[in-house]
Amino acid sequence: MKRTVLRLLALGTVFGFAAHGGVIGNWSGSIRSWNNSDMSTLKAAMIGAGNTVLADSAITAGNLAGDNVFVIGEALSSPTAAEGTALANFVNGGGILLVLFDSGCSGCVGGNAALADVGSTMSASGANPVVAPFPGGIFATTGPPFNLVGQTLDTSPGSAIAGGIDIAGTYVAYQHIGSGFVFAFADRSDHNTFSPDNTHTNGKLFLNIVGSAAVVATPEPATGWLIGAGMGMLALGLRKRSR
């Protein structure tokens, strides 16, 4: 119940106003999520930017229904068939999936399975990733809210990403699938050592992705509420007239 209320508040449907923050879900089957202590700086920055970071949860259609972004942070295991279907529907319907790996190919088996489940051809391996300056493009480079073109990530040894459209060399790549996007991260660059603010490239990258998700995927509920209220008044008037 609390999770549903958080989603409604974040989407602005309670009072009928348009929301601008993203709703970020985290898989409970991950080694680490954005709710862990070593992600507290990132979580605080996301909340400060108007986003909602939900508690870790299972992958189900119901849990994904109100999310703009879903994070798999080093998968402990591969998603089940039902979980894979839910993820695929989420991405194809306009959601953004972040699949994160770490050094030693931590999370590679489960993370690669999740990528395959949503129809991505990207995968992580134990190879050494190559960092490169951000090229021009969407999400991580031109905003919102930060322009990262020509800048580079702060990194530590990770697992190389093959396939997709490179954002930062083989450290970060993405694919557009259906109406949504999937990102693969070779290195857990969202630790507290990389402060997510407007002076740190890694933080700006995540803020761009989540900010773009809110713009692309968050519905405008005010119009729906007005139409619904009008229909309700019309129905009430017709009922009184019939009596």
Task: Specify the pTM.
Answer: 0.81
What is the predicted pLDDT for the residue at 20?
60
pLDDT one-digit tens code per residue, 153-191: 988 889 999 999 999 999 999 999 999 999 999 998 888
Percentage of the chain modeled with pLDDT above 70: 79
Query: Which has the minimum average pLDDT: 21-30, 148-157, 176-185?
Result: 148-157
According to DSSP, the β-strands at 96-100 and 123-124 are unpaired
Asked if CATH classification 3.40.190.10 holds for the domain at 20-217, the reply, yes or no, is: no
CB atoms within 10 A of CB 198: 11
Segment 202-243, tens digit of pLDDT:
889 999 999 886 555 433 333 333 334 444 444 444 444 444
User: Do residues 220 and 214 make contact, with C-beta atoms less than 8 angstroms apart?
Assistant: no
**Averaged confidence pLDDT in the chain:** 82
Dihedral angle at the C-alpha atoms of 135, 141, 146, 149, nearest 10 degrees? 0
